[in-house]
Chain A
Amino acid sequence: MKKLWRRSLFIISLLLIWQGLYLLEIWPNFLFPSPMMVGNTLVEGFTDGSFIIAMAASFKRLLIGYSLSIVFGTLLGVLIASNKIIEDTIGPFILALQSIPSVVWLPLALLWFSLGEAAIIFVVVLGGTWNMVINSSTGIKNVQPVLIRAAKTMGVKGIQLFWKVILPASVPHLITGMRLSWAFSWRALMAGELIGTGTGLGQILMWGRDMGNMSLVISIIILIGTFGYLTDNLLFKKFEDRVLTRWGLDNE
């Protein structure tokens, strides 16, 4: 409860400072809107449905791109973890790919797929995949050897050993990978939408810039932050904590 108080107090002070700066009129109103103006824009955006449509469109791209990156990432991760030669060969390459900010892929995506859905989804997939490769291969390689030995002495081997023991034992790493990939995909999506066409949060953001409507820009930034926070910290973190407890890995 105390924490909630402190946080509310912090946000209220932030809003007050913002309002104060607005009243000082250092910058023109259209460049530096008041909290009220942004609030109105948010309300309008939701009542006329434009924000909801944009969020739905963004969310759809995110889900498609993210799901693909989880599938590709896990498959590649399993391949790397199961073969030392493959790991030695492409491991460093994956690390290099992971260090490339996904927005860097945009020029390529635009030329290959032209301005459209495919280009944005391509960037989202590249944003989430490499992290998932790294996390899933780490998870599989770090399965406690004694669990594998126990299963073997009970007569389990081969593909059954993989499905029944190795994969479930690496679930904590897979969940962490899924959470991080979600964050990476989300960032990649926003980068992609700034340039791509169609409707979406990123596109409204750019439209706000073109129209000189800072109220709109700030509203969308708030939406993006809130959406990211809710999914990452509430949804995924809760799920991850549950899994860690079940697997006996929490620090109780």
Chain B
Amino acid sequence: MSFLTINEINKYYPQKDGHLLEVLNNINLEIKEKEFITFIGPSGCGKSTLLNILAGLVKADSGRVSLNDKLITTPGNDRVMVFQEAALFPWMTVIDNVMFGLKAKNKDKKEAYDKALKQLEAVHLADFKDSYPHQLSGGMKQRVAIARSLVIKPKILLMDEPFAALDDQTRLVLHKELMNLWLDLKKTIVFVTHNIREAVKLSDRVIVFGTNPGRIIEKISINLPRPRARESKELITIENYILDLLEKEVSFKGGNQDEKIMA
């Protein structure tokens, strides 16, 4: 049975001079349940737009996306998004932020509080439950954002360059935490990044996008055991392969829609 199916998606953005920019051209992709899948590609390749279409925040011009054979047309809390800017509500304490989605579903307040606290413990931030977002570091904010999304128990976690604004050390720590959460919960994660190393280290599958028009140029499966060592030979080989692909994409505009199993 198909889990998340992306079928012949096309998306155009009208430009100021009147012509249409083709952001996504005929995107077809099957995402498996519990899969960690990453979209990578140069800016303007439509990877974030596709993520927004999965979230229901942006409408495709043609094609369909379905989750468990149900068409996705609007946002829904079976698919929650984590943004690059954390997007915490600054007027709420950390715990209130985490409770936000539960309260919106009219969950009992006490129950919501307990769940939120448990989720904060999972990201090691229970001690900061009464702090305000402006008192937290970038990495802590992003952990709260992840907790706020996971507490709703979505089927899919959508992550739009969530670690791009963080320094390297913080990013490594968060990779580890995200991996642990994912191994623990076995949730589907769709992750967008422009960091090749990050993509290769985290993912079951990396989808490489090209620009103009935005399209998939290759789907790469990475069946390496976890936790993955940062400098392992296999990872570096795959990294270099993707780097070559993207370089070719930028300089020649080539590419076929191959499926490859790299490891």
**B119 CB-CB contact with A under 8 Å:** no
Contact A248 B77 (CB under 8 A): no
Contact B101 A152 (CB under 8 A): no
- Enumerate B73-91 residues with CB–CB distance to A below 8 Å: 75-77, 79-81, 83, 85, 87, 89-91
Chain A residues with Cβ below 8 Å from B80 are 153-154
The docked-state distance in angstroms from the alpha carbon of A152 to that of B100 is 11
CB distance from A143 to the nearest CB of B (A): 11
**A246 CB-CB contact with B under 8 Å:** yes
With contacts A146-B83, A153-B158, A154-B101 taken as known, whether A165 is within 8 angstroms of B75 at the C-beta atoms is no
Contact B77 A153 (CB under 8 A): yes
**A28 CB-CB contact with B under 8 Å:** no
Contact A169 B91 (CB under 8 A): yes
**B133 CB-CB contact with A under 8 Å:** yes
**A147 CB-CB contact with B under 8 Å:** yes
With contacts A153-B81, A246-B90 taken as known, whether A160 is within 8 angstroms of B75 at the C-beta atoms is no
CB distance from B100 to the nearest CB of A (A): 6
**B105 CB-CB contact with A under 8 Å:** yes
Contact B89 A147 (CB under 8 A): yes
Contact A155 B76 (CB under 8 A): yes
Chain B residues with Cβ below 8 Å from A160 are 104
- Enumerate A136-164 residues with CB–CB distance to B below 8 Å: 144, 146-147, 149-157, 160, 164
The docked-state distance in angstroms from the alpha carbon of A229 to that of B148 is 43
Contact A153 B89 (CB under 8 A): no
**A198 CB-CB contact with B under 8 Å:** no
Chain A residues with Cβ below 8 Å from B83 are 146, 149-150
CB distance from A156 to the nearest CB of B (A): 5
Chain B residues with Cβ below 8 Å from A157 are 75
Contact A154 B104 (CB under 8 A): yes
User: Closest residue of chain A to B103, judged by CB?
Assistant: A164
The docked-state distance in angstroms from the alpha carbon of A246 to that of B90 is 7
Q: What 1/0 mask marks residues of chain B from 34 to 71 whose CB sits below 8 Å from any chain A CB?
A: 00000000000000000000011100000000000000
User: Closest residue of chain A to B136, judged by CB?
Assistant: A248
Contact B75 A152 (CB under 8 A): yes
The docked-state distance in angstroms from the alpha carbon of A160 to that of B56 is 18
**B230 CB-CB contact with A under 8 Å:** no
User: Closest residue of chain B to A149, judged by CB?
Assistant: B57
User: Closest residue of chain B to A156, judged by CB?
Assistant: B104
**B124 CB-CB contact with A under 8 Å:** no
**A168 CB-CB contact with B under 8 Å:** yes
Chain B residues with Cβ below 8 Å from A154 are 77, 80, 100-101, 104, 148-149, 152
The docked-state distance in angstroms from the alpha carbon of A144 to that of B104 is 20
**A247 CB-CB contact with B under 8 Å:** yes
The docked-state distance in angstroms from the alpha carbon of A150 to that of B97 is 11
CB distance from B243 to the nearest CB of A (A): 30
The docked-state distance in angstroms from the alpha carbon of A165 to that of B101 is 12
**B228 CB-CB contact with A under 8 Å:** no
Show 13 A/B contacts (Cβ-Cβ < 8 Å), sorted by A: A144-B85, A147-B89, A150-B83, A153-B80, A154-B77, A155-B75, A155-B104, A156-B101, A246-B90, A247-B134, A248-B132, A248-B134, A249-B90
What 9 pairs across the A-B complex have the smallest Cβ distances? A248-B134, A155-B77, A154-B101, A150-B87, A153-B81, A152-B75, A146-B87, A156-B104, A247-B90
B residues whose Cβ falls under 8 Å from a Cβ of A:
55-57, 75-77, 79-81, 83, 85, 87, 89-91, 100-101, 104-105, 132-134, 145, 148-149, 152, 158
Beyond A152-B57, A155-B104, 14 additional pairs, beta carbon < 8 A: A144-B85, A146-B83, A147-B87, A147-B89, A150-B87, A153-B75, A153-B77, A153-B79, A154-B80, A154-B148, A154-B152, A168-B91, A247-B134, A249-B90
